[in-house]
């Protein structure tokens, strides 16, 4: 179970992004103060775009040279593809802040072999975190979104990656998209010092209630994110929190 679990509900999506940006910067300042760097894995999809844009505009002068950006998952497309999480983060954040190129670790998802791309990324993590065999990286913060089906990162219900216990990053076949995704595995997510979920909008309300209040057997992917020695924070707007009973 996570050391602490908190749920914050903000009135609007804009309030959610402001609160998430403040938490991001707080976590970054703490990590940089403690060990001179901040390692963060970003979420893809559309929700976090508002957070990334706010970080770019409100924290332009932050110590971005001490920040090391990774991606919790990526679509199996080139970085120029409209579906690419890297492209979304590059446009909303990376091109607007003074972060050295060598501080940004992009998934090489242009590789036609998704498994090779996942292994390449895993080796990037092993080198950066100087991992010994069997060790997992401990990110200072991992940002996650949640899909209406309860998936997170690219860990979809009933997909092969859910049972992976040894690898850090794998290629996951997602039937409904008829394509691979490249994703962190649960051992990496659950090793983080802090995981922050962002969920916004009424279309997420039913699943948010399920994830936070229901006992599903087997648990849905977003329910399986339980940092073993870290904080779990759910940041919601009122629309996404509307079905919560407590
Ligand atoms: C992705 C994300 C994915 C996302 C959820 C929610 O690559 O799409 O990593 O896990 O967080 O699908 O997406 P929205 O925020 O767009 O609803």
pLDDT mean values, one per 10 residues, the chain (246 residues): 85 98 98 98 98 98 98 98 98 98 98 98 98 98 97 96 98 96 98 98 97 94 97 98 95
Nearest to 97 by CA among 68, 72, 117, 126: 68
Every domain of the chain and the residues it spans: 4-237
At 1 the pLDDT is 64
CB 242 within 8 A of CB 199: no
CB 65 within 8 A of CB 103: yes
At 4 the pLDDT is 78
At 2 the pLDDT is 66
Please, how many CA atoms are within 13 Å of residue 161, restricted to the half-sphere of its CB?
A: 32
For the Cβ of 16 lying below 6 angstroms from any atom of ligand 1, the answer is no
For the Cβ of 46 lying below 6 angstroms from any atom of ligand 1, the answer is yes
Query: Residue 154 Cα, ligand 1 centroid: separation in angstroms?
Result: 8
DSSP state of 76: S
Number of Cβ within a 10 Å radius of residue 237: 25
For the Cβ of 231 lying below 6 angstroms from any atom of ligand 1, the answer is no
For the Cβ of 153 lying below 6 angstroms from any atom of ligand 1, the answer is yes
Ligand 1 pocket check: which of 41, 43, 156, 221 to mutate, most ligand atoms within 8 Å of Cβ? 43
Architecture per CATH, domain 4-237, reads as: 3-Layer(aba) Sandwich (3.40)
Number of Cβ within a 10 Å radius of residue 125: 20
């Amino acid at each position: 179970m996570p050391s602490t679990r908190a749920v914050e509900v903000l009135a609007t999506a804009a309030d959610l992004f402001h609160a998430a940006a403040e938490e991001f910067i707080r976590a970054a300042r703490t990590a940089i103060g403690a060990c001179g760097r901040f390692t963060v894995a970003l979420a893809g999809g559309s929700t976090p775009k508002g957070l990334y844009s706010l970080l770019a505009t409100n924290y332009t002068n932050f110590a971005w040279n001490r920040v090391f950006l990774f991606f919790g998952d990526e679509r199996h497309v080139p970085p120029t593809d409209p579906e690419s999480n890297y492209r979304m983060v590059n446009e909303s954040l990376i091109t607007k802040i003074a972060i050295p190129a060598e501080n940004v670790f992009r998934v090489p998802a242009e590789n036609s072999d998704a498994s090779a791309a996942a292994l390449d990324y895993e080796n990037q993590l092993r080198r950066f975190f100087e991992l010994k065999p069997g060790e997992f990286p401990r990110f200072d913060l991992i940002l996650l979104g949640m899909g209406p089906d309860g998936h997170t990162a690219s860990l979809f219900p009933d997909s092969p990656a859910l049972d992976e216990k040894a690898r850090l990053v794998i290629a996951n076949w997602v039937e409904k998209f008829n394509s691979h995704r490249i994703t962190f595995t649960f051992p990496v997510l659950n090793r983080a010092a802090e995981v922050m979920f962002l969920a916004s909008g009424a279309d997420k309300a039913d699943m948010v209630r399920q994830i936070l209040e229901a006992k599903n057997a087997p648990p849905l992917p977003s329910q399986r994110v339980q940092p073993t020695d870290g904080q779990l924070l759910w940041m919601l707007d009122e629309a996404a929190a509307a079905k919560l009973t407590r």
